[in-house]
Amino acid sequence: MIRILPLPSACNFRDFGGYETRDGRRVRWGRLYRSGAMFQLSPSDLEQVRALGVRAVLDLRRADERQSLPNPSLGAEVVERSWEEEGDASPLGGRSFTGSVDRAVVRRAMIGMYEDMPLRLRSRLRGVFEGLRQAAGAPVILHCMVGKDRTGLAAALVLSALGVARERVFEDYLLTNEAVDLEARLVQGSGGGLGLAGSSHYLQLLPPEVRAAVLEAHADYLQASFASIEGEFGSVDAFLEAALGVDTPTRAALAGWLLE
C-alpha cells in the first residue's frame, strides 16, 4: 500500500493506516487520511482524492483560515466538520516567534505551543473522535493548514486510541519531513504555498535556519504534548476519556471499524 499518495499539488497528503497495534492487529489502509489544506489541489489530483471514497473531512483550521482558503468540494455526500472557538488565534503570531532570530528560542516556543495544544484544541480533538464515530469506518480526511502541528497531534491521538505503540505514532508524525518540503513551498510560492498572505508574513522574514525550527516536525514537539497530557491526566488513556469523551465502548467501536 502507498502511504504518501502521489499527488503533486497536495500538501502532506498521506494515509496513516497500516500501523500494527500492540495486540497484533493493524490499522486499516484507506480509512484514515491526513493532509494540509486542499485549496491548491489541481483538477487531476482532486479527482484522485474524490476517488478515495471519503465521506467526512475533519478540518482543524481556524475560521479565518477556512474562510480565506476554503477547501474544494469533494462531493455532495461528503460531510465537512469544523469547530468555532472563542478567542481562537494562531500562537505562531506571538512574540516568541515574531521577535526572535534565535533558533533555540523559536524551538522552545514551538515546544511551548505543543505543550498547550492538547487543552487549547480540546473541542476540536473531541470533534475529531465524534467525526470518526459518525463516519463508522468510512474513509475520512483529517487536516489543518500544512498537516503538521494540529493534524500531527490529532493523528497521534487517534493512533494511540487504536492501540498503536508510541514509537510508531512518532514515526507517523515525523513522516511530514519526508512527505512535504515546507521550506520550498514557502519560498517558491512566496508564501502562497502555505496559505500565507503577502510577502511580509513573519515566517518569510526569519533566517532559513530559524524558520526551519517552525516548519520541521521534531520529536521533541510531539513529546511535549504527550508530557503535558500525562502530567495533567496521568496517561493518554485518561485524557482520551476525561477530556475527549473517548471511553472504552467508543474505543471498541473505533477498533471494530478501523482495525483488521
**Would you say how long the chain is, in residues?**
260
Please give the pLDDT value at position 78. 97
**Is 34 within 8 Å of 151 (Cβ atoms)?**
yes
Task: List, in sequence order, every residue forming a beta bridge with 58; answer none if it has no partner.
Answer: 81, 142
d(C-alpha 180, C-alpha 146), whole Å:
9
Please give the pLDDT value at position 183. 87
Please give the pLDDT value at position 44. 97
Please give the pLDDT value at position 198. 47
Q: What is the pLDDT along the chain (260 residues), one digit of tens a residue?
A: 899 999 999 999 999 999 999 999 999 999 999 999 999 999 999 999 999 999 999 999 999 889 989 999 999 999 999 998 755 666 665 555 555 568 888 899 899 999 999 999 999 999 999 999 999 999 999 999 999 999 999 999 999 999 999 999 999 999 999 999 998 887 765 445 566 554 446 677 778 888 899 899 999 999 999 999 999 999 999 999 999 999 999 999 999 999 99
The domains of the chain, with CATH numbers, are 14-258 (3.90.190.10)
Please give the pLDDT value at position 259. 98
C-alpha 64 chain-centroid distance? 17
Please give the pLDDT value at position 195. 61
Catalytically active residues, by annotation: 144
C-alpha 89 chain-centroid distance? 17
Please give the pLDDT value at position 102. 82
Please give the pLDDT value at position 136. 97
Please give the pLDDT value at position 94. 56
